[in-house]
Amino acid sequence: MDARQVPAPSWRRPSTDWRSDPPRGDVIVDVRNLHASFYTPDAEVKAVDDISFQAVRGRTLCIVGESGSGKSATARSLMQLIDYPGQISEGNILFSPGAGSAVQDIAAMEPTCEEIRAIRGRQISMIFQEPMSSLSPVHTIGNQISEVLEIHQGLKPRQTRERVIEELRRVGIPLPEERIDSYTFQLSGGMRQRAMIAMALIARPSLLIADEPTTALDVTTQAQILDLLAELKEQLGMSLIFITHDMGVVAEIADDVAVMRHGKIVEQGPVDQIFHDPQHDYTKQLLGSVQGGATSRNRRAKIERAAASPVVRERADPAITEVTERPLLSIRDLRMEFHTVAGGLFARRSKKKLEAVKGVSLDIAPGTTFGLVGESGCGKTTLGRCILRAYKPTSGQIFFDEAGREQVDLAALSERELKPYRARVRMVFQDPYGSLNPRMTVRQVVEEPLRMLDGVDSEERGERTAVMLERVGLKRSAMNRYPHAFSGGERQRIGMARALITDPSLVVADEAVSALDVSVRAQVLDLMAELQDQLSLTYLFISHDLSVVERICDDVAVMYFGDVVEQGAAEDVFERPQHPYTQALLSATPVTDPSARGTKGRLTYQP
Amino acid sequence: MIRFIGARILYVIPTLFAISLISYFIIQLPPGDFLTSQIASLEQQGQTLDPAYVDALRQRYGIGEPFWVQYGKWMGGILFEGDLGQSFEYGRPVTALIAERLPLTLILGVTTLIFTWVIALTAGVYSAVKQRSFADYAISTVGFIALAIPNFLAALLLAYAGFTLFGASIGGLFSPEYANAPWSWGKVIDLMNHLWIPVLVIGLAGTAGIIRVTRANLLDELPKPYVVTARAKGLPEGKIIRKYPLRIALNPFISTAGWHLPSLFDGEVIVAQVLALGTTGPLLLGALKSQDMYLAGGIILIIAVLTVIGTLMSDILLAVVDPRVRFGKA
């Protein structure tokens, strides 16, 4: 269609004759030598590069890999759903919905033809990562679910209402009679994903493809959705292909695993073999970044550091603490309220008061890493922003007490008085893409905080930027390039450099590694630990990821709906959780060992 | 819903008051009044008027009284008697003058509106779906050319083409033989023969903007995950686009749909003037030129009121169409 485009092969290609070698009867989809490419104006980008695998009826196949590994392109190829300008260029996808039923080659079908449309939603269904954006915001969920029956069984919406309600009940949506007429924005993330599952399953497909269905969800919701999928798979006798980057999730649900990297499958086999006897280095690396390896090293370092820091002495002998060290940051009864206008056409417009932080008190000792954990909406980010004074807290005190300086209450300072402290408390953001201005060079990005300090001339700024870039593991030559030239991990290093350029004492890292792939995440965490030692930094590490927090934090506070429900030393909180919510949170975290599956009961917390 | 509409209507009242005040102020702004410009044009023709006679006229029309008194009289007449006042130039009630031209104005306005939207939406959707195809570039080119050519020039060119190629009479919406004839099928066909020129001129010029906005909005929506979801259900492409992305891409149009209400009424001043159409457009232009202030004021006020009502309708329509607006989520 585009004159400038590299010519793509035509759809009707001579395929290798698979009829002489039909797939085994117990295989629902047999992928042979699949290639899929994206045809851009400049080049052909191979997203899927000659992969072969089989999904066995009634089993769960996990395709695991990091971003850009081609796992999503593989999943979408199975339904001819690759976005333009991508397409399948070679290979076979041999699909037979039931044992003994006719085999069709999906790879040979055109993406819009009638045959593939008869398969989509009817024989093979798909659920996606982000249920909010994967469902239409302007249609009710009932409308969108009943549409599947309308397409494949020719039923009118009013004939199917009962069935849709029944399906919503099956996926565990409370009050399905009412929820059927809800819009997506009226449901929580977990409910939306349940509605999505109901939509995928209502026509009783024989194969369900789940493309990172729990990545956007909180850990407790993730656990519920994984349990639900496993249960429905049993009930309905489906096969499941599950795409994920999370080895913990793989350990929870997989029967078979295929590990992908750079468009190729590097290793595949039953889940026990992959976890307990991995052959390929990359698989070991993936497992290492969640299990032992880097962890133990970090732990050791942390313990050594903790032994050297006065905090431990503080615990050992409370009498000394009074004299030796005061916390760097102590928050007392901090409250943050937001006022929103709610209501609409049918309801009285009302001003709602939202208490994001409800009287939190905590102390952060200098030189330590303080973990703040909780699920989305619990107020952890708001708390972080109050400390940075991006928000002005409604009430409470934030005492900032650096050695050799006067103690101040950040909550009470005016914008002008705050200015020197803007260089002392810095932030690292979650999204390494969104948090760097694409129109500024790395030098401009990193040196910008120095510009607000008086008496730092251009030459000195350049020198300090270069030194800082080297410190975070980048080259000096990176200074004049733009952020788009860097990978996610490198961008996060740039974000670290920007935070550290003013030589701060406290760094608030808000989900700083959540958007990174596991292998990159381990590197960035190592870097953070290294910098902490070198520059005697204190971190407030905000995260929803318990495994990371457990690994790197000295002290932990657990937040739930604006309250800190539990806080203490990391070892105590993780090994002997006192509060039922902490217990529920820990029980929902996937264990990265398939043989431990089902040994740990799920706890739920209802206040 | 009722509360929402009620609140909106309450906002409308002070807005309308302000508009009427400003429009009255503006038509009063130019130095002099209808009588002075009338006297000037008579004097240019070598005639003179008896100053006593002029004073009598001044008295009769209340010219020279303070602004507020004049405004009060004008608004009072409109509010209590539905009387927009007398036209100085025509010596007839303004309401009668407008009513006379209203049917043709509405025919022109509605036809143009439908023409514009049918063409523009189809072309916009097509060029988004077939992005970077020959058809996409062709549609954009034609749209931009139509946008760039001044309306009056295109009107003149088409009128000339219509005259030389089809032998259509120039000017007006009717041939001379039908101009004052009662309505008949012949007259309707005659109207169609003349109507296409202004509809084409005004309509095509309006399409470019809508095509661009439709195309851009739809291109934003097409790669959204919910479109992939719809595709994964097995929906045919055409239905996917109509039901999901197009629906959302149309929101900006719905929120501005009301703005077309006044354009139905104003009768496209310049094109109508060039083509000598019997719509309200030329009437307004003439009234402004001769400082026929009640006629000009009446037309401007109606246009302003229609703008406000149109905006109100858009607000309500958007709330009906988009649940996110209805539930205060967007």
Using a CB–CB cutoff of 8 Å, tell me whether A83 touches chain B: yes
The nearest alpha carbon in chain B to A146 belongs to: B233
Percentages helix, strand, coil for chain A (3-state, rounded to 5) are 40, 25, 35
Return phi, psi of residue A403, to 5°.
Answer: -60, 135
The larger pLDDT score, comparing residue A11 to residue B97, is at B97
pLDDT, one tens digit per residue, over A164-221 is 999 999 998 989 999 999 999 888 888 999 999 999 999 999 999 999 998 888 888 8
Q: Number of Cβ pairs closer than 8 Å across A and B?
A: 101
pLDDT, one tens digit per residue, over B227-275 is 999 999 999 999 999 999 999 999 888 888 888 888 888 777 888 888 8
Instruction: Give residue B85's pLDDT.
Output: 79
Between chains, do B234 and A120 touch, taking CB under 8 Å as contact? yes
Instruction: Give residue A306's pLDDT.
Output: 47
Instruction: Give residue A320's pLDDT.
Output: 37
The mean pLDDT value for B94-114 works out to 89
Distances (CA, A) of A259 to A264, A268, A592: 8, 6, 15
The larger pLDDT score, comparing residue A105 to residue A85, is at A105
Between chains, do A345 and B235 touch, taking CB under 8 Å as contact? no
Q: Sort out which chain A residues have CB atoms less than 8 A from B228's CB and list them.
A: 76, 81, 83, 128, 134
Cα torsion at A280, A285, A288, A294 (round to 10°)? 150
List, in order, residues 6 or more apart from A363 with CB less than 8 Å away: A327, A329, A330, A331
Chain centroid, CA B308 distance in Å: 13
Instruction: Give residue A444's pLDDT.
Output: 93
Domain ranges of chain B: 101-287
CB distance B302 to B98 below 8 Å: yes
Return phi, psi of residue A521, to 5°.
Answer: -55, -45
Between chains, do B234 and A118 touch, taking CB under 8 Å as contact? yes
CB distance B108 to B279 below 8 Å: yes
CB distance A470 to A494 below 8 Å: no
Nearest one of A605, A596, A603, A594 to A249, comparing CA atoms: A594
Using a CB–CB cutoff of 8 Å, tell me whether A528 touches chain B: no
pLDDT, one tens digit per residue, over A232-276 is 999 999 999 999 988 889 999 999 999 999 999 999 999 999 999
The minimal CB distance from B234 to the residues A136, A152, A196 is found for A152
The larger pLDDT score, comparing residue B171 to residue A330, is at A330
The minimal CB distance from B328 to the residues A117, A119, A343 is found for A343
The minimal CB distance from B326 to the residues A117, A152, A345 is found for A345
Using a CB–CB cutoff of 8 Å, tell me whether A117 touches chain B: yes
User: How would you list the strands of the sheet with A538-543, edge to edge?
Assistant: A425-428, A506-510, A538-543, A369-373, A555-560, A563-569
Q: Is the predicted pLDDT of residue A309 greater than 60, yes or no?
A: no
List, in order, residues 6 or more apart from B115 with CB less than 8 Å away: B199, B200, B203
Between chains, do A151 and B233 touch, taking CB under 8 Å as contact? yes
Q: How far apart are CA A578 and CA B137, in angstroms?
A: 66
Instruction: Give residue A322's pLDDT.
Output: 40
B261, containing H or E segment: helix B260-266
Instruction: Give residue A430's pLDDT.
Output: 85
The nearest alpha carbon in chain B to A76 belongs to: B232
User: How would you list the strands of the sheet with A104-105, edge to edge?
Assistant: A44-56, A27-39, A86-95, A104-105
Nearest one of A53, A68, A67, A58 to A23, comparing CA atoms: A53
Using a CB–CB cutoff of 8 Å, tell me whether A136 touches chain B: yes
pLDDT, one tens digit per residue, over A418-445 is 988 999 999 999 888 889 998 999 999 9
Instruction: Give residue B218's pLDDT.
Output: 93
The nearest CA of chain A is from the CA of B225 a distance in Å of 5
Distances (CA, A) of A188 to A68, A378, A520: 29, 14, 31
Using a CB–CB cutoff of 8 Å, tell me whether A125 touches chain B: yes
Q: Which residues pair with A334 in a beta bridge?
A: A360
Instruction: Give residue A600's pLDDT.
Output: 65
Alpha helices in A59-113 (DSSP H): 71-77
CATH (residue range B101-287): 1.10.3720.10
Instruction: Give residue A194's pLDDT.
Output: 92
Between chains, do B328 and A341 touch, taking CB under 8 Å as contact? yes
The minimal CB distance from B224 to the residues A2, A133, A183 is found for A133
The question of ipTM being above 0.85 is answered as: no
Q: Is the predicted pLDDT of residue A295 greater than 80, yes or no?
A: no
Instruction: Give residue A363's pLDDT.
Output: 93
CB distance A148 to A126 below 8 Å: no
The nearest alpha carbon in chain A to B7 belongs to: A345
The minimal CB distance from B133 to the residues A1, A122, A134 is found for A1
Q: At B136, list the tokens.
A: 């996409």
Q: Sort out which chain B residues have CB atoms less than 8 A from A117's CB and list them.
A: 234-236
Return phi, psi of residue A52, to 5°.
Answer: -135, 130
3-state DSSP assignment of residue A400: strand
CB distance B290 to B34 below 8 Å: yes
Instruction: List B residues 110-149 in contact with A (Cβ-Cβ < 8 A).
Output: 130-133
Using a CB–CB cutoff of 8 Å, tell me whether B1 touches chain A: yes
Using a CB–CB cutoff of 8 Å, tell me whether B230 touches chain A: yes
Structure confidence at residue B329 as a pLDDT band (50, 70, 90): low
The nearest CA of chain A is from the CA of B226 a distance in Å of 4
Between chains, do B229 and A121 touch, taking CB under 8 Å as contact? no
Chain centroid, CA A16 distance in Å: 39
Least confident span in A156-160, A358-362, B236-240:
A156-160
**Measured on CA atoms in the order A497, A498, A499, A502, is the torsion positive or negative?**
positive
Q: Cis omega (within 30 of 0) on the bond before A131?
A: no
Q: How far apart are CA B93 and CA B292, in angstroms?
A: 12
The nearest CA of chain A is from the CA of B249 a distance in Å of 11
CB distance A48 to A35 below 8 Å: yes
Instruction: Tell me the percentage of chain B whose pLDDT exceeds 90.
Output: 16
Q: At A533, list the tokens.
A: 């030692």
Between chains, do B326 and A152 touch, taking CB under 8 Å as contact? no
Buried b (16+ CB within 10 A) or exposed e, B175-193: beebeeeeeeeebeebbeb
Using a CB–CB cutoff of 8 Å, tell me whether B234 touches chain A: yes
Q: Is the predicted pLDDT of residue A456 greater than 90, yes or no?
A: no
Q: How far apart are CA A172 and CA B156, in angstroms?
A: 68
Q: Is the predicted pLDDT of residue A361 greater than 50, yes or no?
A: yes
Q: Which of B4, B231, B320 to mutate to test the interface with A (most CBs of A within 10 A)?
A: B231
Between chains, do B233 and A341 touch, taking CB under 8 Å as contact? no
Instruction: Give residue A345's pLDDT.
Output: 45
Instruction: Give residue A520's pLDDT.
Output: 84
The mean pLDDT value for B106-123 works out to 90
Q: At A24, list the tokens.
A: 């085994």
Q: How far apart are CA A368 and CA A145, in angstroms?
A: 50
Instruction: Tell me the percentage of chain A whose pLDDT exceeds 90.
Output: 51
Average pLDDT value over all residues in chain B: 84
The nearest CA of chain A is from the CA of B115 a distance in Å of 28
Q: Sort out which chain A residues have CB atoms less than 8 A from B133's CB and list them.
A: 1-2
Q: Is the predicted pLDDT of residue A544 greater than 70, yes or no?
A: yes
Instruction: Give residue B55's pLDDT.
Output: 78
Q: Is the predicted pLDDT of residue B122 greater than 90, yes or no?
A: yes
3-state DSSP assignment of residue B112: helix
The minimal CB distance from B228 to the residues A1, A81, A139 is found for A81
Q: Sort out which chain B residues have CB atoms less than 8 A from A121's CB and list them.
A: 232-234
Between chains, do A346 and B324 touch, taking CB under 8 Å as contact? no
Structure confidence at residue A54 as a pLDDT band (50, 70, 90): very high
Between chains, do A134 and B226 touch, taking CB under 8 Å as contact? yes
Average pLDDT value over all residues in chain A: 85
Q: What is the pTM of this model?
A: 0.79
Q: Which of B2, B132, B220, B226 to mutate to test the interface with A (most CBs of A within 10 A)?
A: B226
pLDDT, one tens digit per residue, over B40-71 is 777 777 777 677 777 776 766 666 677 888 88
Distances (CA, A) of A439 to A4, A446, B306: 27, 13, 45
DSSP class of A438: T
Q: Sort out which chain B residues have CB atoms less than 8 A from A348's CB and list them.
A: 3
Q: Is the predicted pLDDT of residue A289 greater than 70, yes or no?
A: no
Residue whose pair of structure tokens reads 């679910």 in the numeric block: A145
CB distance A529 to A302 below 8 Å: yes
Structure confidence at residue A13 as a pLDDT band (50, 70, 90): low
* Rounded (5°) CA angle A251-A252-A253: 100
Q: Angle, to 10 degrees, between the axis of helix A219-236 and the axis of helix A189-201?
A: 20
